[in-house]
Amino acid sequence: MVYIDIQHREVTLKLVYYGPALSGKTTNLQQLHQRMVNHAGSELVSLDTRDDRTLFFDLLPLEFETQGGFKIRLKLFTVPGQVIHNATRKIVLQGADGVAFIADSRVGQTRSNNESFADLKHNLREHGLSFSDIALVIQFNKRDLPGIRSDAEVKKIATKGKEPVFTAVAIDGHGVAETFMGLAALSWAKLEAKFNFSERFGVTHADFMSRIGELFEGGGAA
């Protein structure tokens, strides 16, 4: 749930990267971090990993100011994908404003994608939420691997829901920024509809998005 601090003119959004085990959630965050490396306050916090698998979560905090000195903070989390860590997943998911579902494009991983998607639905329901309450975007990751769903198939899947769908090769950084921007835009739009930021604080969607875009500029990624 968005945290609005009127006194300090500050809004905090929570965005969560969800998905099956080894689909590349942490890689997404690492790549984002790499591209924004020159920005203050964006230290990637990685907690307790074993064999390079996420046990609790990774956290990438971002912060910027919009016109009129309104401060926006974004907290990007990943969840552990392995089935047994559901307790942790549920805790991290609590109060999320937006979710990026990172799916593995390989046909053989269809079942785990579906299972994790159902798990997301289930965990949201336990927090009293449904897909329509949060901003959800979907990323088909690992587009460089063999045995993946074709672009046409991805397009077909995309038409099934109203969630924006992105394709990515997170390990090379392709599509990572696009997914994040899509998630940020949709999350903001959802909150805008609910809290009317533009009227109350003079923060427009265009302003918000241009600040997000600025995060990537001069970040070392040419």
Binding residues for another protein, per CB under 8 A? 1-9, 12, 14, 41, 43, 45, 47-48, 56-57, 59, 61, 63, 73, 75, 77, 87-88, 90-92, 94-95, 103, 107-108, 110-111, 113-115, 117-118, 121, 149, 153, 156-157, 160-161
- Answer whether 140's CB lies under 8 Å from 103's CB: yes
User: To the nearest whole angstrom, how small is the minimum distance from the Cβ of residue 88 to another protein?
Assistant: 5
- Residue closer to another protein by CB (options 200, 205) is 200
- Residue closer to another protein by CB (options 151, 153) is 153
- Residue closer to another protein by CB (options 137, 222) is 137
Q: Which residues of 111-149 are buried (b: 16+ CB within 10 A; e: fewer)?
A: ebbeebbebbeebbeeeebebeebbbbbbbbbbeeeebb
- Residue closer to another protein by CB (options 77, 208) is 77
User: To the nearest whole angstrom, how small is the minimum distance from the Cβ of residue 155 to another protein?
Assistant: 12
User: To the nearest whole angstrom, how small is the minimum distance from the Cβ of residue 154 to another protein?
Assistant: 9
Helix axes 110-126, 86-93, angle to 10 degrees: 60
- Residue closer to another protein by CB (options 121, 205) is 121
User: To the nearest whole angstrom, how small is the minimum distance from the Cβ of residue 222 to another protein?
Assistant: 27
- Residue closer to another protein by CB (options 34, 94) is 94
Distance CA 138, CA 187 (A): 13
User: To the nearest whole angstrom, how small is the minimum distance from the Cβ of residue 27 to another protein?
Assistant: 19
User: To the nearest whole angstrom, how small is the minimum distance from the Cβ of residue 57 to another protein?
Assistant: 6
